[in-house]
Structure 1
Amino acid sequence: MAVDAGNSKTDVALVDTTGRILGTARGGGFRPHADGVDAAVGELARLVAAAGAGPGAAPVDHVQACLANADLPVEEERLAAAIERCGWGRSVTVVNDTFALLRAGLPDGSAPRGVAVVCGAGINCAGLTPDGRTARFASLGRISGDWGGGVHLADEALWWAARAADGRGEPSALATALPAYFGLAGMPELIEALHLGAVARARTHELAPVLFAVAATGDAVARAIVARQAEEVVVMARTALARLDLLGERVPVVLGGGVLAARHPLLHDDVLEGLAAHAPRAEPVVVTAPPVLGAALLALDLLGAEADGYAALRARWA
């Protein structure tokens, strides 16, 4: 059983070692911090049943769960214990969902070695060497030094747009583009709508694509935000490579998550230029396949699948 549970969606897939997909299910985001571990795993149980496992079904050989918000080792342990109690599989492994992206971008049949940066709703980075050493970040927001991801970018765009509108900041087309997205006349109206609830604060993440569209017109403020995001992607990758003594070696740097997988030209080019300057032997790889592919590949690794099984699985999610 492969599980990829992100901030915005959760995928469950039952696969066999030949690469056949026996069942799938998709649900909402996985939020053990907000909902509690038991409630989050309870919602996961609904998807497991929908995929054809769980109560009444024989346990699978292995459950490979790659979970958002499993940011610290202690959180991985707690979530693994909760999933083990469900009895879905004979063995259970829980890792942060960044490792699913990393595995999806690495070649099959060789010892894992590389670094992944995921930039979706949030941002994270993880690296792995053949001897089992890992590099990772807490990815807990500002308290752990993070900058970026779609939610953060939208908030930055709003901050700069508000200051552009009231004169405290540089002029920017963001001041008209952001409220226009919600059908509003200007930033005062958008600020009021967000404050009073006429526009749900949860919808602000929708503004990240607007930021990229404004940046593409040459707007200096929007362009600076995008450039800052690229810098953060590069510094995370370079730091992880350095921690693992891989900076001087030719290894993949896997890029994924909604923001990076979209290949926005300005962001994508800035990331490639930054990697070329600061990690010149890195080999950028953009993964657009569903992250559950990486979880399934990790399960096949553990179960000793044949090469044909990997190829069939990748073809299914190509």
Structure 2
Amino acid sequence: MGVTGVNGANGPSAAVLAIDAGNSKTDVALIGADGSVLGTGRSGGFQPPRVGVEAAVDVLARAVAEAAGAAGLRPGAPCADVVSACLANADLPVEERRLTAAVAARGWGARTEVRNDTFAILRAGLSGADLPRGVAVVCGAGINCVGMLPDGRTARFPALGVISGDWGGGGGLAEDAMWWAARAEDGRGGPTGLARALPAHFGLASMAALIEALHLGAVPRGRMHELVPVLFAVAAAGDPVASAIVERQAGEVVALATVALERLGLLREDVPVLLGGSVLAARHPQLNDRIGELLAARAPLARLSVVTAPPVLGAALLGLDSVDAPHGAHAKLRAHFG
């Protein structure tokens, strides 16, 4: 499919409408045929399980409208040839189909492609204009992994939490730290510095006080993610319990990556394995170095790196992949995002 470019006064004015929508925020960018960024927008988190599909897509619409306004497009007019949307909570094929239909119904583009938001991290971390080949593991609030081959084959996981066998990310790490710290204080478990460090973070004197504060709402449950850096600090000081939690997280990341590599026939290939999400992007040496050691034992030719580019770049690159973008468009787009 050819791209329209930036001058289509009576139709789409961009090649790609890129959407990256996570649980906490949505980023949108309108991309010209040459890879230029015509306009951007931002809105809130994308949470269809909590608010319903249509209300969740309304959140996307606010960011799309902001980007279209910045690009000088008419309100309500089609924005682009292709909508490339990488969305949180698009975990199952049935969810992708439902979200594709809901996004397409807004009329933002001639064609709509919806993927899980982990694919945006994967594509953002792969250089060049060649079609994607590699694996990405995202460890932020939760944990997920995807892999892609140039022929379109993918490897992925449901990533629905405990019911689909997942553990880790900020939520899992904080819960494990709380579990061990609570048992250390009341005698059901062995000693750990977490029992002092976790409540101290909130200005409290004991785990009992922290448990009560979380239960009664004095400390909102949403603040539990603040305990993840505390966990890593206690582990770095040599605490064996905290270190074991970090070791478990490293093992989970490598398990996901190696299974994805094996499914795609890449376990013994020279291939990028990309790490994204707030936990991995923080580059805690005890975690990231251990991931490198474990991965080298399972996939000795894999090339490990951390992705810090904004995920909306990945959504935009996926969009350019699907149109006949001219030479240099991918590089120009990547340069815009630094």
Q: TM-score, normalised by structure 2?
A: 0.91
Q: State the match for 2:25 in structure 1.
A: 9
Query: 2:45–2:59: 8 Å Cα contact kept in structure 1?
Result: no
Q: Distance in 2 between matches of 1:55 and 1:153?
A: 44
Superposed, which structure 2 residues align to 1:1-318 within 5 Å?
A: 1-52=17-68, 55-318=75-338
Amino acid at match of 1:6: G
Q: Distance in 2 between matches of 1:4 and 1:86?
A: 17
Q: Distance in 2 between matches of 1:140 and 1:56?
A: 35
Instruction: Count how many residue pairs are aligned between Structure 1 and Structure 2.
Output: 318
- Structure 2 unaligned spans of 5+: 1-16
Q: Distance in 1 between matches of 2:333 and 2:118?
A: 19
Where 2:151 maps in the other structure, the secondary structure is: coil
Where 1:233 maps in the other structure, the secondary structure is: helix
Deviates more, 1:22-31 or 1:69-78: 22-31
Q: Distance in 2 between matches of 1:307 and 1:171?
A: 60
Deviates more, 1:83-92 or 1:50-59: 50-59
Amino acid at match of 1:144: S
User: Percent identity between the aligned chains?
Assistant: 66
Amino acid at match of 2:244: A
Q: Distance in 2 between matches of 1:84 and 1:21?
A: 22
Q: Distance in 1 between matches of 2:78 and 2:264?
A: 40
Q: CA deviation at 1:6?
A: 1.1
Q: CA deviation at 1:286?
A: 1.1
Amino acid at match of 2:300: P
What do residues 98-149 of structure 1 show as CA deviations (whole Å, max 9, x unaligned)?
1111111223232321111111111000111122211100000011000111
Where 2:231 maps in the other structure, the secondary structure is: helix
Where 2:141 maps in the other structure, the secondary structure is: coil
Query: 2:143–2:169: 8 Å Cα contact kept in structure 1?
Result: yes
Query: 2:78–2:107: 8 Å Cα contact kept in structure 1?
Result: no
Q: Distance in 2 between matches of 1:129 and 1:314?
A: 21
What do residues 14-44 of structure 1 show as CA deviations (whole Å, max 9, x unaligned)?
1112222111122222111111101100111
Runs of 4+ in structure 1 deviating by more than 6 angstroms, as ranges, are none
Where 2:80 maps in the other structure, the secondary structure is: coil
| Aligned residues: CA RMSD | 1.2
Q: Distance in 2 between matches of 1:59 and 1:21?
A: 13
Q: Distance in 2 between matches of 1:180 and 1:222?
A: 16
What do residues 249-271 of structure 1 show as CA deviations (whole Å, max 9, x unaligned)?
11111111111111111001010
- Structure 1 unaligned spans of 5+: none
Q: Distance in 1 between matches of 2:23 and 2:76?
A: 29
Q: CA deviation at 1:307?
A: 3.7
Q: State the match for 2:4 in structure 1.
A: none
Q: CA deviation at 1:222?
A: 0.7
Q: Distance in 2 between matches of 1:8 and 1:214?
A: 27
Q: Distance in 1 between matches of 2:67 and 2:147?
A: 30
Amino acid at match of 1:268: N
Seen in structure 2, the aligned counterparts of structure 1 residues 102 and 42 have a Cα distance that, compared at 3 Å, is same
Where 1:126 maps in the other structure, the secondary structure is: strand
Q: Distance in 1 between matches of 2:301 and 2:288?
A: 18
Where 1:91 maps in the other structure, the secondary structure is: strand
Q: CA deviation at 1:159?
A: 0.7
Q: Distance in 1 between matches of 2:113 and 2:321?
A: 12
